[in-house]
């Protein structure tokens, strides 16, 4: 609890809850974001210092807060940074808890009987370095990693057991998300307990092939004709609706190295749409029990899919476009088709769309009136693309 205002009746209820064992921390000296654009905050010098209105009950609230703080399950801190340690001193630990401090990952945990579903997100997507962390989950069992784009489930080996908790070691690229499930009805994959602190080890990928030569074709999307739909239901009137169509033109760029569409003469800087990339590669041998992934390098932030040897297409995380292709690989020659979509930025810029779009941030902040501004963006698969064994 950190806000300055608290209803006296709510404070009395908190006394009841704390008396029954609930842990409560009053956090003083905080501030709450009011508006990001103007960098304005609401200051809370003291938590629960007054009532929300002019009800004359401030003294009653103060007495109740004094009673609250006298309970053994309640404490207060003067610095928000001390909140976690204060909670731990009261015996509170997180269900999905970082073993060591990490300020670049957000997590969320859902419980379904014996199953714990963990979601983690490396939200500092503009950084260049991956982050490594360990997350402690309550209970012991087998951990699986879920591919959110294909729905596939694979046992996850980077785990250990410590003090009745399962420690999951994770590496996340900037902007990458990951899903894990701990099945507490199954035996742990790693049974021997170890120290709660250790260096996180992540298997080093082994390069198998580099895919550098591709056939490239781009479906250029632009505004098409206007289609008029007429409907007469015999009620004495006729309705007409105009539906804009999309004009799609296939631009064949031949074969060559990967580069942004704006740098391909057959495509250019004014195109938005979907690129299709195809090539062949050879795998001499497939190691038994190994997993194979196709690392696309960069898709310029574009959504897309990978199809190996004509199998079903598999999607990927645009922040970390790595696709598990183990089940579709074969020894000898393999074909791969990668499709990557772009935003509409370059096409809209070429059509002059932004010239009549006001800059909403200038409007909100009271800055001089201005139009939306953008530049030609890199679109398409730019790689480097490598097949790796993990």
pLDDT of 124-179, one tens digit each? Answer: 988 888 999 999 999 999 999 999 988 889 999 899 999 899 999 999 999 999 99
Q: Shortest CA distance to 347 belongs to which of 254, 246, 276?
A: 246
* Beta pairing partners, 216: 277
The CATH fold assigned to 97-202 is: Immunoglobulin-like (2.60.40)
For residue 193, the model assigns a pLDDT of: 45
Domain spans in the chain, listed from the N-terminal domain onward: 8-89, 97-202, 210-356+376-389
SS3 at position 165: strand
Whether pTM exceeds 0.75: yes
- Alpha helices by DSSP H, listed for the chain, are 8-19, 58-69, 83-89, 345-350, 360-365
Sheet holding 177-183, edge to edge: 105-112, 115-122, 177-183, 142-146, 153-155
Cα–chain center distance at 117: 15
- Residue 224 has a CB neighbour count (10 Å cut-off) of 11
Based on C-alpha coordinates, what's the Rg of the chain? Answer: 28
Whether domain 210-356+376-389 has CATH 2.130.10: no
Q: What is the pLDDT of residues 270-292, one digit of tens each?
A: 999 999 999 999 999 999 989 99
């Amino acid at each position: 609890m950190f806000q300055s205002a608290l209803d006296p009746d709510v404070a009395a209820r908190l006394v009841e809850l704390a008396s029954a064992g609930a842990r409560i921390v009053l956090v003083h000296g905080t501030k709450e974001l009011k508006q990001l654009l103007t960098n304005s905050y609401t200051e809370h010098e003291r938590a629960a210092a007054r009532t929300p209105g002019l009800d004359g009950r401030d003294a009653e609230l103060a007495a109740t807060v004094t009673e609250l703080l006298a309970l053994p399950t309640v404490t207060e801190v003067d610095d928000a940074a001390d909140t976690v340690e204060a909670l731990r001193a009261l015996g509170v630990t997180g269900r999905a808890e970082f073993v060591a401090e990490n300020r670049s990952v957000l997590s969320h945990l859902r419980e379904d009987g014996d199953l714990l579903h963990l979601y983690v997100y490396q939200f500092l997507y503009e950084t260049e370095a991956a982050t490594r962390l360990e997350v402690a989950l309550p209970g012991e069992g087998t951990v699986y990693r879920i591919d959110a784009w294909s729905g596939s489930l694979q046992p996850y080996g980077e785990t250990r057991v410590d003090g009745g908790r399962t420690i999951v070691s994770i590496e996340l690229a900037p902007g990458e998300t990951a899903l894990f499930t701990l099945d507490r009805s199954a035996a742990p994959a790693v049974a021997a307990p170890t120290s709660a602190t250790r260096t996180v080890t992540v298997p080093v990928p082994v390069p198998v092939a580099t895919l550098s030569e591709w056939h490239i074709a781009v479906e250029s999307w632009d505004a098409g004709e206007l289609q008029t739909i007429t409907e007469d239901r015999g009620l004495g009137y006729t309705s007409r609706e105009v539906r804009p169509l999309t004009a799609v033109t296939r631009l064949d760029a031949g074969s060559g190295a990967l580069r942004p569409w704006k740098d391909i003469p057959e495509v250019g800087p004014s195109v938005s749409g979907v690129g299709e990339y195809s090539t062949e590669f050879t795998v001499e041998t497939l190691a038994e029990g190994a997993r194979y992934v196709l690392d696309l390098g960069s898709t310029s932030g574009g959504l897309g899919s990978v199809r190996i040897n004509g199998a079903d297409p598999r999607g990927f995380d645009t922040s970390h476009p790595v696709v598990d292709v183990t089940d579709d690989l074969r020894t000898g020659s393999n074909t791969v088709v990668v499709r990557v979509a772009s935003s509409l930025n370059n096409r809209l810029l070429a059509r002059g769309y932004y010239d009549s779009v006001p800059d909403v941030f200038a409007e909100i902040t009271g800055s001089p009136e201005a139009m939306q501004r953008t530049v030609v963006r890199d679109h398409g698969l730019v790689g480097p693309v490598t097949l790796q064994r993990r």
